[in-house]
Structure formats: C-alpha cells, structure tokens
Amino acid sequence: MLAHLPILQVIVPLMAAPACLILSRPKLVWLFTLLVSTITFFISIFLLQQVMSTGTVSYELGGWSPPWGIEYRIDKLNAFIALIISGVSTVVLLAAQTSIEKEIPENKQTLFYILYLLSLTGMLGIVTTGDAFNVFVFLEISSLSAYSLIALGKDRRALWASFQYLIMGTIGATFILIGIGLMYQMTGTLNMVDLAARLPEVAETRTVTTAYVFFIIGVCLKLALFPLHFWLPNAYTYAPSIVTTFFAATSTKVAAYLLIRFTFSIFGVSFSFTTLPMETLFLALGLLGIFVASTVAIYQQNVKHVFAYSSVAQIGYMIVGFSMSTHAGLSAMLLHMFNHALMKGALFLALGAVMYRIGSTRIDDFRGLGRQMPLTMAAIVIGGLSLIGVPLTVGFVSKWYLVTAAIDKGWWPVAGLVLLGSLLAVVYVWRIVETAYFKTPITGKDPVKEAPMAFLLPVWMLVLANVYFGIDTRMTVEVATGAAQSLFGVAP
Amino acid sequence: MFAVVMLAGIYGLVCASFFVAMDAVDVAFTEASIGAGISTLLMLTTVAMTGRTDHEATHKPLMAFVAVIVTGGLLIYGTFDMPYFGSADAPVHQHVGPHYIYDSIQEIGVPNMVTSVLASYRGFDTFGEVTVIFTAGIGVLALLSVARRPEDDAVMEAINDSMHEKHLILRIVIKTMIPFIVLYAFYVQFHGDYGPGGGFQAGVIFAAGIILYAMLFGLGAARRVITQPVVQMLSALGVLVYGSVGLVSMLNGGSFLDYNVLAADPIAGQHLGILLIELGVGLTVASVMIIIFYSFVGRSQFQKANKGELL
C-alpha cells in the first residue's frame, strides 16, 4: 500500500467528493470530509518522511512508463507544499460546520463540502503531478471549485467578486495552457523531467521564449502577483469565512509552486534568469507589491480587506526571495510559504469567529471586542505580530532568512526595504489592535460572547503553531533548504 | 446578444470543420457537440433570462485593446520559430507520438488510437477531465438551483397544456426523433474503440435528447422522467465508476488505472477497463449536462414566477 501513497494523496479526496452526494446529510458530510482531509494529511506526512529519507518517489499511472504515460513525482519541494495544503485544510475544517451553519443555507451545505474536497483535490493534484498537462487538468478542478466556493458567500457582492476571479482566472489558465501547448510543440513531450531534458536544445528559439512568457503570466495571474492582484481582495473578503481561510493559506502557494517548478526544474536557471531579465522584473514587482499593497491595506475599512491586501504584500516577499535565484533566496521563499500559511490561517479563521459572533468584519464593529472576545482577539494579536515579524513567531524566521539571503547576494538596499515593509505591517495591525482594545464600544449594543470552542480550538492550534515553528525551526528549515538544494541540483 | 450567441455557435462549427481538416475527428466531434451544440443552447437560455440588449459600456476599452494587441503580437512572435505545419521532423512527430502510433495496437489492441491515448496512456488526465465536468455540475447546482415549489408545478402544467396546440408539429416530429438520438448516443458510446466517439460525445448527445424533450414538453415533464436526485446520483456514480476501475486495478496488484491486471489477458483487461471508464465518462457527462440545463431553465422559470409574468 505504501507504494501507492503518491496517488492516494489525490484520489482519496477526489473519490470522496462524489461519495458526499450520496451521504447528503450536512453534519454527516462534514465529519466525512474532516476524516478524508485528515487521511490526506497523514499521507502527506508519510510522503514527506519518505522523501526526506530515501529521495524522490516516482509513481507510474496506468502502469505506463513516462513519458508515454503520466507520472507522479514527489520530491522534497512538492511533498512540503502538499503538507501545507492538507494540514491547513484539516485544521480549517474543524471549524467548518459551525461557521457555515450561519453563512450558507442548509440545502447547499453538502454541495459546499463537495466543492471543498474538489478544491483540495485540485491543489494536491497540481502539486504532486510530474506531467505538465496534468497540471492544467487539476488546475481546472481547483479553479472551478474555487469560483463556486467564493460565490457561495452570504454577501451579494460575493457573486461579483467570484465573477472577476473567474474572468482573471480563466485568462490565467488559458495562458498556462498556451504555454504548455507551445512547450509540447517544441519538444514532443509533456513529462516534466523529459521536458527539462529536451528544452535546452531548443531554448534559443522564439517559440520557447513565448511559451515561458505565457506560462509565467498565467501563473502570476493565479498567484495574484502585483499588479495582477485585482481579483484577490474582493474574492477573499466576500467569500465564506472558511473558504477565505483555506484559500488565503493555500491557493497562492500552489501558484508559487508552479512558478518555482517551471522556472527552476523545467526551464532551468540559466534560461529564466540569464536569457530573460527575470531577476530585475520579479525583484521590482515583488518590492512594489510589498509597498503598494501594504499601504493600501492601511486604509481599508474591512478587516478582511486589510488582511487580503496584506496577502498581496506577502506574495511580494516570496517573489523577492524568488528573484534572487540563489539557494538562500529560494529557501527563504519556501519558508515564508509555510509560515505565511500558518499566519493567514490563524488570522482569517479568527476573523471567521468574529464574523460568527457579530456578523461583520468592519473595523468599526471591532470596538470593545478585546474585552468581549479575549481569546479570539489575542489570537489576532499574535497572528498580527507574526505578520510583522516579531521574534519568537514564524514571521521573524521568514524575515530573518529573507534578509540574510539578500545580504548574501550583496543586495543591501533590498534587505533594508524588506525591513521597512514590516513597519507598514505594524501600522495596519496596530489599527485593529487599537480599535479592539482601546476604543469604547458603541453604547446600546448587546455584549458579544466569546467564540465557540469549534473556532477557538483550530484558531489556537494555528496560533501555537505560529509560535512553535517560530522557536523550533529545525523541521521547516531542513525541509525548505533541502528542497531548494534539490532544485539547484536538478537544474542545469 | 442573440447575434453574439449565434456567431459563437457558428465559430464552434467552423472550428469543428477545421479539426476535421486536420484529421482530428475525435476532437471535431467533441467540438461540434459541445462547442456548437450544448454551449450555444446554454448561452441562449442565459440570454432568455437576462435580456438580449447590452448595457452602455462604462469602462474604457483602450486598456483591454492594448492587452489584446500585446497578447496577439506575442503569439505571432512565437510562431516564427515553430516547426512548419505538417512537417514530419517536428518534435511532436518524433518523440512520444510514434510510440502511440506503432505500439498501441499491440499494447492495448484498440483500433482507434485516440481512444488508447485518451483512455489508457493518459487515462488519468481523462479522469481529471471527468472530475472537472462533475465540478462544473456541482458548482452550477450550488449557485443556481432553487428549491422546487409545488405551486409552480401547477402553473407550469397549465402553460404546458396551452403550448400543446401551439407546437403540435414540432412536438410530434421531435418525439419521433428522440429515440434515434438516444440510440445514436449509445452507438457513439460503445463504438468509441473503433471509430471517433466515446463517453464525452455520447454523454452530450444523450443529454441533447433529454434536453430536447424538456424544451418541448416542459421541464416538469422531463423532471418526471428523469428526476433531479437521480441525475445527481448518476453524475456522482460516473466519477465513482471511473475511480473504482482504478482502485480495483490497484487491489489486483497494478498501479492506479492499470487495466492490464483487470483480466488474465492484458489486452482483454485493457478492453474491459476502457469500456468501464468510458461508461463512467458517459454517465457523468450526460447527467451533468442535464443538471446544468435543469438548473438554468429552473432558474429562469423561478424568475418569471417571481415577477408574476408567466408568459
């Protein structure tokens, strides 16, 4: 059975999705979904251990050897990302039933879980496959389910947000498909390892350059890299709380994974960073993203909007690490992907708890919440500190590695700018803290109770993870540097 | 808007003939049935719901125009170093392709090699595609479905009767056509191994038969024949059938979707595997198409009922 783990990772949630339709009672479906997600989480833990000890695992689907058949290929990089996705998914699901009972009508709750599982399947499928076209197929599964999940939001603006995302996402997916099509045309293969072997021969052609450009633009749309981030803030704000938490913590990571995989393993550093001016371009976009999005975040009236813009800024940090194209820079990016999932998971889930109690996430409605919901607000404070990068939190670890990587490369100004960006985070996090703790509550409003256990448990699991991985960095750093090393080892 | 939809339909048909000219009959078949057929129909339903006139544009089209020009320019730039059209030296004809052409008949034993690639060599992609379709169906259900109200059914019944005289000829003609459409769907479904066709196309054709019926005899009548819960179950069942074939091959000691281990003889196993997964594809595709149509039309009737302007 162990040999089948790579495929089970994806087909367990996939097969569970239609099975939910047969179970049909929402409570039952929720337990089933939670069980399935937990199983995938354990599978990804096993896979990561296996990969760390014995190296890359390959699985031939249908028994056809690659490049004729489709291959699943698990290395340190994608085992790590799969762990983030399935882990966050499981923790978030603990609060799901409580949260959606208030946000989604009962006759749609079963459908919600089916879409959730499909979305999980899609992301895991993109990450684990070793075949370029298979990436596109699973990208479609994850995108279609994402559009529907976002549109299920209670606020009617969710429909418009989802429609915007649908248009941008479809353009992105089409560009990715054009890129893959052109790659196939020039090499005659879709297998990633095979592509990596055959692309250098034809790297000098204009068609391959076009393929890379289309692919990267498509991925950047999905990644919500500044200035292609328009769809993200509204989609995150108006989607159901659970969906926001799940996507904020995972979906951009999947796009970031594709960026890394195709740039480093398939096209190779020499092509992407020497032939094309990717370094300057990504560095500029990353830094601009950090500053513009953080500044915009300061002026938002809805806390969900604040953290959504903050996500765009965090993607900026990842891209700065990416643009260095060094081992240290890439490790910093991977670390930040893991750490950001923990921060945003905790923050958005805590916002979900606020939404559950007061039915709004407008900053004015936060007045007095510091006293009324002490545990939830404490979670937001710690998550916020982590976002800023205060020592003893995971945020500090990310910033530390990013700044060291920049200094290693001799990019002193970049290191300074990254630190300056953190100051902007201080401002937007402080606004929330100030409102919640120091402003007097609006008189005449009923006092609010603390969030139910169903929320507090997963929120604090994530908060404690923020602190734990901020102190004990052995596991995360080992995996991230290992993954970065393997990428530079494979690349020509 | 009506003209736009018609043009989109024509575009689909032209594309299909284009694919025929390039000897990709399976793709052409799919494009004709889905691109030109079902999607045009769904767009028409949408137009019927939202109105056929466009609103005044409020945004500036200049940015979009620039983006389109840049994209188009880049695509043309990319064509400069492409291999010549039909060139035998092109990488696609040198690497993976020949293996499919020369060896698939020994390895899989199916004359239509498109089916071999689709259902066996890249069977997992097809599984993914079926899941995409299932996702689409569930998404539409989640967003558009409205709870059925008994009082609406009564009103619908009345309209249905009044329409009976209006479209008498159409109804009788269509009624005689539907059995042939459905029969043809089954032919396409089970003949996919030998000629162009397979689960995707067959599913769409089958759904077209049901949809025709729903269009002329009313949604209520169609829902009595094939009820909503049944279609939903069938759409899930299709995915499950496909996946189960994979699981069984795993239990028999192969890897996921390895049909060789399904029977004592590998070729027989391949045949059995392909037959079963195509069945799964057909089930899901047909039921999702029906779900989407039901939801669209159900929605528009719901809208009309709310406005109190039933016809």
* pLDDT per residue as tens digits for the range B101-116: 888 878 877 787 888 8
Q: What is the structure's pLDDT at B218?
A: 76
The whole-angstrom separation of Cα A388 and Cα A386 is 5
- Say if A101 falls within a structural domain: no
Computed over every residue of chain B, the mean pLDDT equals 82
In this complex, the residue of B78, B96, B136 whose CB is nearest that of residue A207 is B78
- Say if A25 falls within a structural domain: no
Segment A305-322, tens digit of pLDDT: 999 999 999 999 999 988
Cα torsion B90, B91, B96, B102 to 10°: value is 30
The arithmetic mean of pLDDT across residues A44-69, rounded, is 87
Model-level pTM? 0.92
Residues 6+ apart with CB under 8 A from A194: A66, A67, A187
**Residue A291 pLDDT > 80:** yes
Q: What is the structure's pLDDT at A492?
A: 33
What confidence category does residue B50 fall into, taking pLDDT thresholds of 50, 70 and 90? confident
Residues 6+ apart with CB under 8 A from A73: A56, A57, A58, A59, A128, A129, A130, A192, A193
**Inter-chain residue contact B128 with A147, CB threshold 8 Å:** no
- Say if A433 falls within a structural domain: yes
**Residue B119 pLDDT > 90:** no
**Inter-chain residue contact B92 with A178, CB threshold 8 Å:** no
Segment A121-137, tens digit of pLDDT: 999 999 999 899 999 99
What confidence category does residue A275 fall into, taking pLDDT thresholds of 50, 70 and 90? confident
Segment B232-280, tens digit of pLDDT: 899 999 999 999 998 898 888 888 888 888 888 888 888 888 888 899 9
The arithmetic mean of pLDDT across residues B6-13, rounded, is 90
Q: What is the structure's pLDDT at B132?
A: 93
In this complex, the residue of B79, B80, B128 whose CB is nearest that of residue A138 is B128
Q: What is the structure's pLDDT at B147?
A: 59
For residues B258 and B245, the answer to whether their CB atoms sit within 8 Å is no
Overall number of domains in chain A: 1
Instruction: List CB contacts (< 8 A) between A147 and chain B.
Output: 139
As a three-state string, the secondary structure of A151-194 is HCCCCCHHHHHHHHHHHHHHHHHHHHHHHHHHHHHHHCCCEHHH
Range(s) of the domain holding residue A333: 277-492
The Cα angle at residue B292 between residues B53 and A172, in degrees rounded to 5 = 75
The Cα angle at residue A466 between residues A463 and A469, in degrees rounded to 5 = 145
Q: Which of B101, B110, B134, B78 minimizes the C-alpha distance to B23?
A: B101
The arithmetic mean of pLDDT across residues A208-223, rounded, is 90
**Residue A433 pLDDT > 70:** yes
**Inter-chain residue contact A188 with B78, CB threshold 8 Å:** no
What confidence category does residue A14 fall into, taking pLDDT thresholds of 50, 70 and 90? very high
- Say if A302 falls within a structural domain: yes
Instruction: List CB contacts (< 8 A) between B253 and chain A.
Output: none
The Cα angle at residue A10 between residues A9 and A15, in degrees rounded to 5 = 115
Distance from CA of A77 to the nearest CA of B (A): 23
**Inter-chain residue contact B236 with A18, CB threshold 8 Å:** yes
Q: Which of B258, B306, B281 minimizes the C-alpha distance to B203?
A: B281
B73 touching chain A per CB within 8 A: no
In this complex, the residue of B82, B132, B145 whose CB is nearest that of residue A140 is B132
**Residue A491 pLDDT > 60:** no
B147 touching chain A per CB within 8 A: yes
H or E element: which one contains A319? helix A303-323
Q: What is the structure's pLDDT at B151?
A: 57
Which range scores top for mean pLDDT: A189-193, A202-206, B62-66, B115-119?
A189-193
Q: What is the ipTM of this complex?
A: 0.90
Q: Report the DSSP beta bridge partners of residue A60.
A: A71
B272 touching chain A per CB within 8 A: no
H or E element: which one contains A211? helix A206-223
**Residue A264 pLDDT > 90:** no
- Say if A460 falls within a structural domain: yes
Pick B170 or A296 by higher pLDDT: A296
DSSP for residue A362: B
